Amino acid sequence: MSINTKDYTFIRNKLLNKEEIAFLDVREEDPHAQEHPLFAANLPLSHIEIDAFSKLPRNDIPVVTLDDGEGYAQLAAERLIALGYSDVSVFSGGVSNWKSAGGEVFKDVNVPSKSFGEFVESKRHTPSLSAQEVKQMLDAKEDVVVVDVRRFDEYNTMSIPTGISVPGAELVLRVPELAPNPKTKIIVNCAGRTRSIIGTQSLINAGIPNEVNALRNGTIGWTLAGQDLDKGQTRRFTEVSEGTANTAADRARSVADRTGVKRATLADIENWKTQTDRTTYFFDTRTPEEYEAGHLPGFRSVPGGQLVQETEMVAPVRGARIVLADPSGVRANMPASWLAQMAWDVYVLDGMQKEMLTEKGIWRAALPSLPRVKTVDAKTVSSWLKTDSNTIAIDFSTHANYVKGHVPGSWYALRSQLKEALKSIPQVDRYVLTSTPSELAFFAAPEFAALSNAEVYVLEGGTKAWMDAGLEVEKGPTHLASPALDRYKRPYEGTSVDPKAMQAYLDWEFGLVEQLGKDGTHHFWVL
């Protein structure tokens, strides 16, 4: 199929003019993280069908796919066109051509948000304390409260001693009751720098009377200082009184107004849902638990702190409109204030009432129709694998999910690396494909059948159905037909990270502001 191509000038002009564009790096996450343009959002070829409809809600949005010469961009463009997208092009020459045209490339993931955090710190000189200074305060039992603004699972893995889990968008709402005495000092930490900078500055911008400081360099800085982290902690924020909530709402609304956040009504929402010439994302920024208990139809659960940290992962169309919803106002207005400074066209929904939250349960992505393939239940597969040496299971889950638990004897394969993977997988007469989410195996099945010339089945319900059936599970990287390219190992994750990698990560963050200046397309500003 012949696909149109686009060049550096086209992308740059779209970004400079704040026009909508989905510039998609369709490589797996690890090669994406090695180097990519600032606003090239990662949407791997492997997951096009799973992610396209939710991340690219308008089918005539200008889409430009990017790789580094591997051919993925062409394949991704073909798949997007097959899904109904009408304005799809390939970036000519890949990342190499972007660089040769003078384009800046960035390392790591969530770079727009991380570089924005460094930009904020450079402009506002966000106050911070070193790991040694904070430890001295804790050892001396000073009047200090440590709040950890990461996701709860990150906090639970490792945390600063005495730290309490208060994900970023909750800070302005929860801190007044965690530290009711204005003389209590607040320390805000994350794993590295971005979320603690944004969290600290959020409290300052909202006018919290306490002295607030970021823990400089987060848990990385703490570890590099030779200080021990806690593991497995479960301390979480508590509910607040009506008076505290009302005061927090006023503070957050004031910050949002000062940053130019716009207001939306339910009538606006209904109109925007059907608008064909503008991309709009609808996000519920409360906790996942609150969302599941009841939410507005058509809104996706994206807690506000993570939305600011990982914006391009859920909103890859640069120049789109973003609408945030939270009945309290606080968890929408504070993230919205940051998105506005990141040059997003951002609105907060006003007038929310509990009776409007008519949908319950987790958010589910809209998906295209599944291919018609043969399916089989978990117990039948178990019998096949035990009695028939000519049957093999293939798992298309993420490497992390595969390692946590998979069908015994199954092979891990990346859909984007399928041809290479089949060179490692034994040739048999029958293959059973599985995955988490289960739909991924359905989309991979036609390709697998064409390449293997064997009988191909998909496990009904995927790996979850296997586990739900109480069948034996194997753990660890037992049969890898593909390299683990689908996940870039963050230098701040886990409890056993090389100190050199940690320091290199910090050095990289320190250089982001200079890179922003070279790139010149961001439109960031700071209150």
- Specify the pTM: 0.95
List pLDDT tens digits, range 95-108. Answer: 999 999 999 999 99
Instruction: Provide the percentage of residues in the chain whose pLDDT is more than 70.
Output: 99
> Which region, left, alpha or beta, applies to residue 104 given φ > 0 means left and ψ of -120 to 50 means alpha?
beta
Positive or negative, the CA dihedral 222, 29, 509, 115 is: negative
- Statement to judge: residues 311 and 402 lie in one domain: no
Co-location of 170 and 232 in the same domain:
yes
Confidence of residue 126 (pLDDT cuts 50, 70, 90): very high
Backbone phi and psi for residue 213, each to the nearest 5 degrees, phi listed first? -135, 145
Under 8 Å CB-to-CB from 221, ≥6 apart: which residues?
130, 131, 215, 506
> Structural domain of residue 101, as residue ranges?
4-108
Q: What percentage of the chain exceeds 90 in pLDDT?
A: 94
Judge whether residue 496 has pLDDT over 90.
Answer: no
Domain boundary among 49, 81, 108: 108
Give me the mean pLDDT over the 353-370 stretch. Answer: 94
Place of tokens 């944004």: 198
Number of domains in the chain: 4
CATH number of the domain that residue 226 is part of? 3.40.250.10
Is position 89 within any domain?
yes
Q: State whether 134 and 185 are in the same domain.
A: yes
**Whose CA is closest to 274, among 302, 298, 300, 301?**
298
Q: Do 251 and 206 meet the contact criterion of CB atoms below 8 Å apart?
A: yes
The mean per-residue pLDDT over the stretch 107-128 comes to 97
Closest CA to 334 of 307, 356, 361: 307
103 and 132: one domain?
no
Q: Does 90 lie in the same domain as 19?
A: yes
Q: Are residues 350 and 403 in the same domain?
A: no
- Over 70: is that where the pLDDT of 44 sits? yes
Which H or E run contains 376?
strand 374-376
pLDDT band at 506 (very low <50, low <70, confident <90, very high): confident
Residue 498 included in any domain: no
Residue 330: name the closest of 398, 267, 403, 255 by CA: 255
pLDDT over threshold 80, residue 326: yes
Above 80 in pLDDT, residue 493? no
Residues 301 and 270 in one domain: yes
- Give the span between the Cα atoms of 412 and 415, in whole angstroms: 10
User: Within this chain, do residues 352 and 277 fall inside the same structural domain, yes or no?
Assistant: yes
Is residue 253 in some structural domain?
Answer: no
Residue carrying the six token digits 């930009």: 119
d(CA 306, CA 285): 9
With a cut of 70, say whether residue 286 has pLDDT above it. Answer: yes
**pLDDT grade, residue 499 (50/70/90)?**
confident
In a domain, 519, yes or no: no
Residue 481: inside a domain: no
Given 468, 489, 509, the domain boundary residue is 468
Residue 216 falls within a domain, yes or no?
A: yes
Residues 20, 104, single domain; the answer is yes
The residue-averaged pLDDT of 61-90 equals 97
Of 208, 358, 192, 363, whose CA–CA distance to 285 is shortest? 363
274: CB partners within 8 A, 6+ apart: none
User: Is 476 inside a domain boundary?
Assistant: no
Does residue 328 register a pLDDT over 80? yes
Residue 491 has pLDDT above 80, yes or no: no
Same structural domain, 350 and 332 = yes
Q: Who's near 402: CB < 8 A, 6+ residues apart?
A: 395, 412, 477
81/153 same-domain check = no
pLDDT for the residue numbered 507: 85
Indicate if 346 and 392 belong to the same structural domain: no
- The amino acid present at 151, given as its one-letter code, is R
Q: What pLDDT score does 500 carry?
A: 84
pLDDT at residue 497 is higher than 70: no
* Strand pairing report for 21-25 and 317-318: antiparallel
**Residue from 56, 58, 186 nearest 127 by CA:** 186
Per-residue pLDDT at 490:
79
Please indicate, yes or no, if residue 99 is contained in any of the structural domains: yes
